[in-house]
Structure 1
Amino acid sequence: MQSITFISTVHKQIGKCSADELCEILEKITPEVVFLEALEDTYSKYQQHTFSNYGVFHEKLEIRALQKYSRIHQFEYVPVLGKGLPNSFEEKSNLVCQNIHFQKMIDNFNSQARMQGFDFLNSEVSIKLNEEMRIYENSILMDNELIQTFNNDIDKYENSMLSNIYSFCMNTKFRNAVFMCGVAHRQSIIDKIETYKSKTNLDFNWEIYGH
């Protein structure tokens, strides 16, 4: 049976959350297909050329890990974003990140990620901390209509990624795949995976890394 492992990540290296650590995880799973929260032009043909010919690594942590993995294994890289993050994401961030307590919550989350790496990102603790930050964000915005706009936009953003993954799976056979996505989406993606399982007839298995 085809299998997809969902891995929560961060987009920039931070302590133990490094390209080397992520590459080690990929080597254990040995995916033939890699779905990534990225746009088509995130890893351009020119960047692929400069890596292949000159060993120039990408800034994005996940792509840097894939470049390292590509030295050992062949795989198909599939960016699953049609559009970037919605404008409401930046609007919300600009408002909530001015709050001192919220900044401390982010610092605490990043500190644990730095020390514990992907084990932390793919844990129940990270889900709990993200949920606490989300609740506090809502209290800062005080029922501002931006909350609803943001929630709707992120819902579409996540559904688009999963829809693109399922469309790919309808036409392509593989044994193992991974889907790497930012940790802030972890619980929501897990919930959506369960919904998609019940709505589609595709015969493949989802594995949640860290569960």
Structure 2
Amino acid sequence: MNKIIVIGTTHSEKGRCNSDSLYHILNDIKPQVLYLEAKPIDYEKVLNNQLQDSLETQAIKQYLKTHTPDHLAVDINDMPSREKFRKMINTFINNIEYQRVNDEYNELCHFYGFKFLNSSDADQMQDYLHFLESDIVKSMNIKELTDTYNEAFDLHTSRENHWISKITEHQAKSEFQEAVFLVGAGHRITIKEKLQKLDLLKQSTIHWDFEYFRN
């Protein structure tokens, strides 16, 4: 059975959550395939040193120096700029409870790195942040904010469905024992929920492993 280890990460370095630590994790696993949450067009530019590295691409480049895995970006190329959602994000961060939980999350990420990001505590905190976002939007009841939130939610959903589809298609025509999917840690819960709804966690040809750091 093919195994895909899902590793939640953050796209910029925060203390022990850094590219060197991620490289050592990849070197321990030695995956034959690497999947990355990134736009293919941007990933190609990063590999050609035409675009700035993220935490993940720095680790991947280091890993590629001594290993020859398949590696591909699985995100949607045509996406709106993050700036489109900046006002909404600032609204969340200005909420006292949201800010408290988010600051605590980032502090734990800084001190404990990837082991925290892939823990049940981190998953629960992300779930709570998602709840707070929805609650803030509902309580404020501002059409512009609601419309932006719904657009962001739909984009979030379509991107995750796209990742699952691209990875499933690729693994069906590939021969490997272990692959790694590097994805923003905030997506871990919702990806797992989608896989459960699609019954893919029980699929016989592939095992999605969200528990690498807990084994």
Query: Same fold by TM-score, threshold 0.5 exceeded?
Result: yes
Q: For 2:177 and 2:197, how far apart are their aligned partners in 1?
A: 22
Deviations 1:128-165 (A, max 9, x none): 11122222222221264334443332111111111111
C-alpha deviation, 1:97, in angstroms: 2.2
> 2:100 maps to which residue?
104
Q: Which residue of 2 aligns with 1:38?
A: 38
CA shift at 1:102, angstroms? 2.2
Q: Residues 100-179 of structure 1: matches in 2 within 5 Å?
A: 100-142=96-138, 144=141, 145-146=146-147, 147-179=149-181
Distance 2:62 2:26 in 1: 10
CA distance in 2, matches of 1:17, 1:200: 31
The DSSP-based 3-state class of the residue aligned with 2:213 is coil
Q: Does the 8 A contact of 2:195 with 2:201 survive in 1? A: no
- Give RMSD over aligned pairs: 2.5
Which segments of 5 or more consecutive residues in structure 2 lack a partner in the other structure?
none
SS of the counterpart of 1:5?
strand
Closer/same/farther in 2, CA of residues 174 and 85 from structure 1, 3 Å limit: farther
Tell me the TM-score normalized by structure 1: 0.85
Q: Which residue of 2 aligns with 1:54?
A: none
CA-to-partner distance for each residue in 1:48-105, whole Å, 9 max, x for gaps? 2449xxxxx9530011111111122111111001233677754531321233442232
* Distance of 1:129 and 1:198 partners within structure 2: 25
Tell me the equivalent position of 2:63. 69
TM-score normalised by the chain length of structure 2: 0.84
Cα distance 1:201–1:118, how it changes in 2: closer, same or farther (>3 A)?
A: closer
Match of 1:4 in 2: 4
Distance 1:71 1:150, change over 3 A: same
TM-aligned CA deviation for residue 121 of structure 1: 0.2
Query: How far 1:199 sits from its partner (Å)?
Result: 9.2
Q: Tell me the matched-pair count.
A: 205
The correspondence of residues 50-65 of structure 1 with structure 2, limited to 5 A, is 50=49, 58-65=52-59
Please give the alpha-carbon distance, in whole angstroms, between the structure 2 residues aligned to 1:199 and 1:66: 26
